[in-house]
Structure 1
Amino acid sequence: MEPEQGVTAEPIDANPLRWLYSIFARFVARFWGVIIILGAWQAWVLISGYNAIVLPPPLSVLHQVATNLGLFAFAGLQTLAVAIIGTVIGMLLGSVAAILAWYSRLFSGLLTPLALIFTAVPAVALVPVIARLLGYDIRTVIAIVAVISFFPSFVFTGSGLRALPPGSADLFRVNGASTWMQLRYLALPAAVPHWMVALRLGAASAVLSAIIAEFAMGTSGLGSVFSEARDSFDMTRALGASLVATIISVIGFLLAISAERIVRDRWD
C-alpha cells in the first residue's frame, strides 16, 4: 500500500551515523571517569616507557582479551558458574539460619557468633582448610563463595524477619495465629526486600571470592588463568583475566540492582 499524498514516510533513523553517535555519547556520559583513568594509564605507560612485565598499557590488555577471546570466555563462564552456584547455596543457608534464629533464641545464640567468626576470617585463609575437607577441586571454590555469601543473607534476612509493620505481630497473636503462620504470612514477606539487598551484596563479591579460591588452588577459571600468567610473568594476560572478572562482576551487580528495584516496587 502506497502512502497517501502529502504524508511523508520517514524511517525511524535514516542516518546510522547519528544512531552510533548517540550510543557513543551515552557511553561517554556514563563512563567518562573510567575513560579518563584508562587514558591517563595509557599515556603514563607510553611516557615512562615501562616494560610490559611491570605495567602493560590498557590497549595491550584489550588486545590480549580480543585475540584470546575463547580462553577468557571459557574461563569466565567457569568462574561465573561456580559463583552463581556458591551464591545460591550461601543465600539459602543464610536464610535458613536466619529463620532458625528468628524462631528460637537458642539458635540465635549459637548461629550469630559462628556467622561473625566466619565473616572475620579472610577468604584466603579459608581456602586451605576447606580444601583439606572437600579436596582441591571445584567443590572448594563453591564452598568459599557460599561462606562469603552466607553472612549477608543471614544478617539481612534476619533483619527483614523482624522489620514487621507496627502492630501486625500483635494482631496475628490475638487472632490465634501459630508461629508457622506468622512466619509464612507475615515475617517472610517482610524479609523479601531485605533478602534482595543481601543478594546485591553477595553478587558483588561472589566472582571475587571465586577467583581468590581458584587462584589459591590453580584449578580452573579466571583465577587459574591469572595464576598461570603470574608464574610466566605475563602481566598482560593477568590483567586481561582481571578485566573479564570485573566485567562479569559489574554485570552481576547491575542485574542484582535491577532485580532489587523490581521487588521493592512490587512490595511497596
Structure 2
Amino acid sequence: MSFIEISNVDLVYGKPGEKSTVNDTLAVSDTSITIEDGEFLALVGPSGCGKSTLLKLIAGLIRPSRGSVKVSGQEVTCPLKIVGMAFQNATLLPWRNIRDNVMLPLEIVEPYRGRHRQDRAKNRERADILLEKVGLAGFAEKMPWQLSGGMQQRAQLCRALIHEPSILLLDEPFAALDTFTREDLWGVLQELWEFRKCTIIIVTHELREAAFLAGKVSVMSSRPGRIIKTSSVDIPRPRTLETTFEPQFVELVQDLRHHISLGKTS
C-alpha cells in the first residue's frame, strides 16, 4: 500500500450547492497516481491543467467528484493536520517577526496548540533550528519587510515544516523569484528534505527545478488534467548546479518538455 493513493479521480468545478451542469469545468479527469512515504514528487504540465487541484485534493481542501484520495490507507474527507503548505507568495504576517511567523502553525495545529504556552521556549528553539538550517540564523527578530523575497520564502518553508508534517505541498514556491535566488533555494529545499525526509510534492513550471529536486516527475496533460507520463530521476544526490549541465539531466528535461507538448494536443 502506497502512502498517498489517488485513484480514478475526476474533479468538476461548478457553483457551490448547485447540481452539475454542462457549463461546469472538468479540471481533472480519471487521474491516478501513487506516492510513497518520504518520496519527493514534482508535478509539471501546462497552465491550468489541474496541478494545484491535485494538491488541494491531497490536503483535503476539496473532495473529488469521482474516485478516491487516500493517505495512509484512509480516505481523505477533511483537511489533514499532517500537511504543511507553501505557496508562490510568502504571505508572512507583517506584524510578527520572522520567528513568530515560523511558529504560527504551533498556535493552530493540535496537539501543539494545546501545549503552546508551556512549550513556548521549546518551540522557539525548534524555529531557530529551522531558520539556521535555511541560512536565516540571526534574522529571527527581523520583520518580514526587512527580508528579501528569497529570504521570506526560506522563512515560509520553515513555517510549513515547523509542526513536522508528514506531507509538504509546495505550489510554485519559487516562481516569483529571480533565477539566481531560485536556484539557490533549490539547494536549500534539497537539504531540508534530506533533513526531514517527509513526503514532498511540488508543482512547478520550471522543468530544471523539477529534475533537480524530485525523485520522480509526473507530467499532466492539458485540462482536463490527467497523468500522462511519470519519470524516475535516477541522478545521485546531493545535486548541484553543475548537475544541470550533465547529459543525463539535460536529456530528462528534454523528455519532460516533449511529453508536455504531447499533452497539449492529446
What TM-score comes out, normalization by structure 2 length?
Answer: 0.25
Higher helix proportion: 1
What TM-score comes out, normalization by structure 1 length?
Answer: 0.25
Higher strand proportion: 2
